Amino acid sequence: MDFINHSALHLGSKQFTFDKAKILRNNLTAAESLLWNALRGNRLNGYKFRRQHPIKGYIADFYCHEAKLVVEVDGEIHNEIVVHEHDESRSSELKEFNVKVIRFTNDEVLNSLDKVLLRINMEIEQSISEQKS
């Protein structure tokens, strides 16, 4: 299948990844929906986030291109060894493109949203600072 976009925004994701992302955008978990309401419309200090964003053949729950930051919200399945190993592999591959991945559990988002947003903002500020250096 042909690459749909070679830009830094999608890192060569293929059409089926875009199609799957569209389906996922319409089926957010409760935690993803809560976090999206806090991030969308540049609500976190003016930073733009995209939800269910195709990047390098993966679908990031949330992506801030300016900071090259992926934010993942993980359910209990991510505690399983095979899934955890896949997550680590994906994070490692994205790191090769200077994209950082941070993870939160559903519980953290649902019960400590303010702390989650503070951490995301801290990671953005650090990333942007490092890019300027």
- What are 16's two structure tokens? 């089926």
Q: Tens-of-pLDDT digits for all 133 residues of the chain?
A: 333 334 655 556 566 566 655 666 677 899 999 999 999 999 999 999 999 888 877 888 999 999 999 999 987 655 556 656 766 878 788 888 889 999 999 999 999 999 999 999 999 999 999 888 7
Domains contained in the chain, CATH given: 15-132 (3.40.960.10)
Provide the mean pLDDT of the chain: 82
The two structure tokens encoding residue 65: 């291109």
| Dist. CA 109–CA 23, nearest whole Å | 22
Q: Is the pTM of this model over 0.85?
A: no
Contact in structure between 72 and 29 (CB atoms under 8 Å) = no
